[in-house]
Each structure stands twice: as structure tokens, then as C-alpha cells.
């Protein structure tokens, strides 16, 4: 009996946070009718109406809002107890499915998560690489890594795990042949390579007058959807490119690339770990995110 009561409360809380029975059903891996039936049984048992229902959404009644507040407190206590037990064991098991951008994932994220897997022999891991925005529910993911500004999205939780700077650079040979641009406007007279994703050219960010940030798309004859290919072209002396610091660190140190227009660009990207909002974050997810936070750069020089 108690387990059925807890199940009903969990479904109720998820429905409140999702804003609809349909979305709650997706998060709980149930049918919409099963969610509606569970909520109706809960209302019948309590003798009150918890939701005002329409064809598109559900909203809490006054009784529902009061019950929701107390449910959150009860679930918080349960989660605290579970966390204390888990922290005492620090035993990570099961399967962790993570999606990440292809190049950033391969160079920065995957090595850390592979190390994390080696520390937890009872943990299985699927590392998926894609520059498309993955859907946590549809793709059955525990965690996604995203760079840049995050869109507003209900039902998701994001934590900053690091940041990196995008740098305008060129080879010394190219600058010797063509001269060095002194302002952003000068770029229109140079060969520029730009990144393109899903048919959309990357927007560069500059500090405009008054310290405000301004975005623009540089004039570029050649667009590529592979940052490594853009870096290769810049190293070969074929033009100017905007590239992430983690990709060209070695080339900047050995002089194959030179950073230019330092004062005109302030293009810093934050990296985030994103997961579905839940009343209890699985230990495997929490520890993986903690590890990324501790190991990825969080400040830019």
C-alpha cells in the first residue's frame, strides 16, 4: 500500500513540474492514460481535486498547490536519506549514456569520462558524438554536453562544467604575405574561414562601443562543418580563422599559429552538462558531472 502511495506522489509531482500529463508520461516512461489514471486515483483517495484539466495543459488547484508543497518536502527528506546511503557506499553501477559535440567531446570530454569509467568497474558507459542537439528523453540519455548559450527549456537542469575562449588566428606566413588586420572591419579584405553547423554560419562576438557585445557573421568564401579542417587550412597559411583554444593550444605554443585582434574579440563559450529535472539525481550522473567540473578549465586567461 505504501509503495502505491509513493508511486502516486511521484507521478503527481512529475505532472506538476512537466505542466502536462503527456510530458510527464514521457519522463516517467509511462502512457498518458496511466499518468491520468494514477492522478485520478490519488485525487479519489485524498477526496480533493488536485488539477484543473484542459485538453492542452493541467494547472494546480489550491488544494493541489498545498499538497505539492508538502510532497516536495517529503521527497526531499527521502532523497537526503538515499544520498547519505549512496555517499557512504560511493558505489556506481548501471549504464551511463552521454551525448557530446564531436570534436570537443573527443578531445576534452571523452578522455575524462573514460578515466571515470576506469575508476568504477561496475559502471557501463555509452559515449555518443554528435553536433546535433540531442533529446534526452527521445534518445534515452542520462547526460548531454553542450557548448555556448543554452536555450530556455523547462524540465532540464544545467550545470556549468567549464569555459573556453574562441581565438582569431592565422599562420605567420599568411600574415607576412598579407599583413595583419588591425580591426574587425579589416577582415573583409582577407581570406576568412568560418564554421557552419546545420546550414547556419557561426556568429562571431565582439565588444562594441560601451562594452556591449555585438555579433556578426564574417564574410567568408569557404565554410566548413569541421573545426579541425578549418584549423588545418589556417596552419597551412591559407587564411584567418576563429578557433577554440583547446584545439590550437599546441600550435600557438610552437608558433604555427598566431593570435590576432585580441582586444576586439570576447568570444567565450561556456560548457554545460544538461540532464532531465528529477527529484533524485542518480549517483552515476552526479559523480560524472562533479568529475568534469573539477577537471575542465573554468577560467580564461
- Strands 192-197 vs 222-224: parallel, antiparallel or unpaired: parallel
Mean of pLDDT over the chain: 86
CB 48 within 8 A of CB 63: yes
Residue 1: pLDDT over 90: no
Q: Which residues partner with 52 through β-bridges?
A: 59
For 90-144, the pLDDT digits (tens) are 678 889 999 999 999 999 999 999 999 999 999 999 999 988 888 887 788 899 9
Check whether residue 159 and residue 286 sit in a common domain. yes
Q: What is the CATH number of the domain that holds 150?
A: 3.40.190.10
Task: Give me the pLDDT at residue 145, please.
Answer: 95
For 270-288, the pLDDT digits (tens) are 899 999 887 678 889 999 9
Check whether residue 76 and residue 138 sit in a common domain. no
Check whether residue 177 and residue 261 sit in a common domain. yes
Task: Give me the pLDDT at residue 139, please.
Answer: 82
Residue 259: pLDDT over 90: yes
Check whether residue 126 and residue 174 sit in a common domain. no
For 161-210, the pLDDT digits (tens) are 988 888 999 999 999 999 999 988 899 999 999 999 888 899 888 766 65
pLDDT above 90: percentage of residues in the chain: 45
Residue 300 lies in a domain: no
Check whether residue 109 and residue 246 sit in a common domain. no
Phi, psi of 70 (to 5 degrees): -70, -35
Check whether residue 63 and residue 185 sit in a common domain. no
Residue 49 domain boundaries: 2-89
* Residues 6+ away with beta carbon under 8 Å from 242: 166, 167, 168, 169, 194, 195, 202, 204, 218, 265, 267
How far is Cα of residue 184 from the mean position of the Cα atoms in its chain?
A: 30
Write out 108-122 in H/E/C secondary structure: HHHHHHHHHHHHCCC
* Residues 6+ away with beta carbon under 8 Å from 248: 167, 169, 231, 257
Task: Give me the pLDDT at residue 86, please.
Answer: 57
Q: How many domains does the chain have?
A: 3
Check whether residue 158 and residue 274 sit in a common domain. yes
Average pLDDT on 249-277 reads: 86
Question: Could you tell me the pTM of the whole model?
Answer: 0.65
Residue carrying the nine cell digits 580591426: 183
Check whether residue 148 and residue 207 sit in a common domain. no
Check whether residue 239 and residue 250 sit in a common domain. yes
Burial class of 101 by CB neighbour count within 10 A (0 to 12, 13 to 18, 19+): buried
Amino acid at each position: 500500500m505504501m509503495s502505491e502511495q509513493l508511486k502516486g506522489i511521484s507521478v503527481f509531482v512529475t505532472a506538476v513540474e512537466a505542466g502536462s500529463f503527456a510530458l510527464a508520461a514521457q519522463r516517467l516512461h509511462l502512457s498518458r492514460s496511466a499518468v491520468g489514471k494514477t492522478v485520478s486515483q490519488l485525487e479519489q483517495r485524498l477526496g480533493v481535486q488536485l488539477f484543473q484539466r484542459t485538453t492542452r495543459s493541467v494547472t494546480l488547484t489550491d488544494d493541489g498547490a498545498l499538497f505539492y508543497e508538502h510532497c516536495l518536502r517529503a521527497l526531499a527528506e527521502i532523497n537526503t536519506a538515499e544520498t547519505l546511503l549512496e555517499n557512504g557506499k560511493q558505489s556506481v553501477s548501471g549504464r551511463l549514456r552521454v551525448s557530446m559535440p564531436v570534436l570537443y567531446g573527443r578531445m576534452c570530454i571523452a578522455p575524462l569520462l573514460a578515466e571515470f569509467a576506469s575508476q568504477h568497474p561496475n559502471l557501463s558507459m555509452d559515449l555518443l558524438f554528435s553536433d546535433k542537439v540531442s533529446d534526452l528523453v527521445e534518445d534515452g540519455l542520462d547526460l548531454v554536453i553542450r557548448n555556448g548559450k543554452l536555450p530556455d527549456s523547462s524540465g532540464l537542469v544545467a550545470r556549468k562544467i567549464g569555459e573556453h575562449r574562441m581565438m582569431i588566428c592565422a599562420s605567420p606566413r599568411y600574415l607576412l604575405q598579407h599583413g595583419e588586420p588591425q580591426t574587425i572591419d579589416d577582415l573583409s579584405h582577407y581570406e576568412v574561414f568560418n564554421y557552419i553547423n546545420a546550414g547556419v554560419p557561426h556568429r562571431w562576438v565582439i565588444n562594441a562601443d560601451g562594452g556591449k557585445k555585438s555579433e556578426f557573421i564574417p564574410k567568408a568564401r569557404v565554410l566548413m562543418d569541421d573545426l579541425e579542417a578549418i584549423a588545418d587550412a589556417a596552419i597551412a597559411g591559407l587564411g584567418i580563422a576563429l578557433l577554440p583554444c583547446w584545439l590550437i593550444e599546441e600550435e600557438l605554443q610552437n608558433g604555427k599559429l598566431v593570435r590576432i585582434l585580441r582586444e576586439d574579440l570576447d568570444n567565450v563559450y561556456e560548457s554545460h552538462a544538461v540532464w532531465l529535472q528529477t527529484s533524485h539525481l542518480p549517483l552515476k550522473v552526479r559523480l560524472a558531472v562533479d568529475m568534469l567540473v573539477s577537471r575542465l578549465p573554468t577560467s580564461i586567461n
